[in-house]
Amino acid sequence: MSTGESTGNGSVVVVNCGSSSVKLALVDPVTGERALSCLGERLGTPDAVVHFKTAEGTRTITPAATTHRGALAHVLQRLLDMDLPPLLGVGHRVVQGGKRFRSSVRIDDHVLADISDLSALAPLHNPANVSGIEAARAVLPELDHVAVFDTAFHQTMPEQAYRYAVPTRWYEEFGVRRYGMHGTSHRFVSARAAEVLQRDAGADPRSLKLVVAHLGNGCSATAVLGGRSVDTTMGMTPLEGLVMGTRSGDLDPAVLELVADRTGASVAEIVAQLNKESGLLALSGLSNDVRTLEEKAGQGHPGAKLALEVFTYRAAKHLAALTVALGGLDALVLTGGIGENGTAIRSALLGRLRHLGLVEDPAANAEHGRSSTPAGRITREGDGPLAMVVPTDEELLIARDTVDLVQHA
């Protein structure tokens, strides 16, 4: 993450509040520069710490309050005491926006109540997002606050993509359907890819067929047709789809019955294990971190090898499936910590997708080894589809949506 000078017009406070952590950044909506970024960890416990990063360096403090909300209020208060660019507004990342929120919105009491009501669909995320909004509104009441939803970009999915084949009552009364997540990243990356492809290949962004793979700790892929999401791999919650760092991805739901029967665990406990103790971590028995797994696989560790194989096989299978939603493919776009930095994983994915006409350019792929590398192609020149790497920047999109809404208020 870069820190540096702002344009002088001010910056947006971008808040991403999780259940035990909070990420906060002061983002210049024009340049994307960060005047400050901050990470609070283990909030709500006596071991809570907050790391601040500015152009002057990094600093770690122990927040005076140990509650989650108190710690966030403390961090925001510290911000106000610093010599920083003027604040234009506050943008909050919110995970679940349900059917109601198809785009970002200014937050008032009604919007906040709706976000809170959507907690049934996202019990791990929306309550934390709500506490973040409440704490920030209390400390910065004079600023406009904006909610940017992970699900909003996927509200353009057609019914054939978002409906589960389950009893209709579950859908109509409980909202059980696919919503999709990581929408801010997929939106940012697909727009950037369309810009680059228009510039470099004269492509028409209105008809572009993109599959965007966001591969980080959480992983999802989206089919984007002419700038609109038409299908995505995450479902009602982030648990569906690809294998992730600690999440299982797709699973036969009957597994829950068997495990509950054998272990006596509740459904909630099993779902927590599927979220936090599965994925690469479980398959390898080692780590959820791809770098560690690559190192250990290189030394012959069977669990690490298996984890990486299942990960790339499942990802490639989903990426190919998403071309059905598009009726073809112009470009596969890779992003997230693994997509931007993982040369070997990218190579393995392309190797499994050769039949779609994607042929790796090993030299170009090796070049894209650092997140600071700009967007660029990693397949050979030719008539078929191409693959490219596009670094994501969800905070910048949140900052831009925030100023857009504040200026049009």
Give me the residues that bind ligand ADP (CB under 6 A), please: 216-218, 245, 289-291, 336-338, 341-342
Minimum CB distance to ligand ADP smaller for 6 or for 184:
184
Cβ neighbours, 10 Å, residue 100: 15
Say whether 150 is catalytic. yes
The residue sitting closest to ligand ADP, measured at its beta carbon, is 337
CB of 287 to ligand ADP, least distance (A): 8
CB of 245 to ligand ADP, least distance (A): 6
CB 385 within 8 A of CB 210: no
Tokens 């996927």 sit at which residue? 154
Q: Which of 28, 150, 231, 393 is catalytic?
A: 150
CB of 295 to ligand ADP, least distance (A): 10
Residue 317 phi/psi, 5° resolution? -60, -45
Minimum CB distance to ligand ADP smaller for 357 or for 374:
374
Minimum CB distance to ligand ADP smaller for 395 or for 401:
395
CB of 66 to ligand ADP, least distance (A): 24
Catalytic residues: 150
